[in-house]
Each structure stands twice: as structure tokens, then as C-alpha cells.
Amino acid sequence: MNDKSLSKVRAEVIEKSINIEWIINAIISQHYFKKVLLPFVTEVLYDEYCSFALKRRILEKIFPNIDGRQIQKLNRLNTIRNYFAHCGQEIFDGPVVPKNEQKGWVPDPRKPTKPINFESLHAEFIELENSVSKYLFGIFQELGGVAVKGE
């Protein structure tokens, strides 16, 4: 995968992750306030110390019968998102050659001697994201949440 296509899929993964987290924020707000209360979302749930893991845990507490498979998928999506957001420094083996001839690789944090396969991770993310988003949006609607199209 070249740098340009990696940047494009990195942006897609991060944008779709933001969308999923927004749905989770909406679910939490809808559960506690019976509406999406923007000051709560922006002042509490958007705080940099209000982590994805905390929001997921709140989701599990307010829905103790939540589908465990969907939570596993949600966790996997977040792991993949973290690979795209935090891994990217290439390692170059061998002698120094002109930049256009260099072929580097990004080590996998869980298997540092192996490269990350960003193409495979992207494909897995796209496969999981649609079903998780639909599942979470269904929860939001069950709580009475309504999506309103913007102008």
C-alpha cells in the first residue's frame, strides 16, 4: 500500500470510528436524559479523559443484555482504529538508498518482528463497521432517539 492510499484508508477508518463513537454518545445521552443533550455530550463525553473504553463500559452497564458479539466487534473496530491512528513509523532494513527506492515496513506492536498489514485491517474494519453501526443505531432508536437530517 503506498503512502497516498494508506492516508486515504487511515482517514476513512478514523472518520467511521468517530461516527460510531458519536452513536455511542447519543445512546448514553438518550438513556440518561431522554434526548441527545449537546452540553452533556460536548462537556462530558467529548472530554479527552472520557475514553472509548469508559463509554463502551457505560453502554454495557445500561444494556446488560447487549449482544456480546457486537461488543466484541466494537472492541475489534477500536483496536483496528488504534493501529491506524497510532502506528505508522516505518522501519528500513538494509543500506541507505535513495528515498524512491526505499521499501519500509511498520512493525506490529503485538508482533514486533512482523509488519502490519494495513490493507487487511482496512478490509476487516469495513466488514465489521456497517453491522456495528446499524446495531448501535437500533439501540438509539429503541430508546426513542430520532435522527434528524441537517440542512
Q: What is the per-residue pLDDT for 85?
A: 87
pLDDT tens digits, residue range 12-58? 999 999 999 999 999 999 999 999 999 999 999 999 999 999 999 99
Round to whole Å and give the CA distance between 72 and 119: 21
Round to whole Å and give the CA distance between 141 and 103: 48
Whether the pLDDT of residue 151 is over 60: the answer is: no
Q: Which residues pair with 105 in a beta bridge?
A: 91
pTM of the complete model: 0.85
- Greatest Cα pair distance, the chain, in angstroms, is 62
Q: How confident is the model at residue 77 (pLDDT cuts 50, 70, 90)?
A: very high
Round to whole Å and give the CA distance between 74 and 47: 20
Handedness of CA 132, 134, 140, 142 (dihedral sign): negative
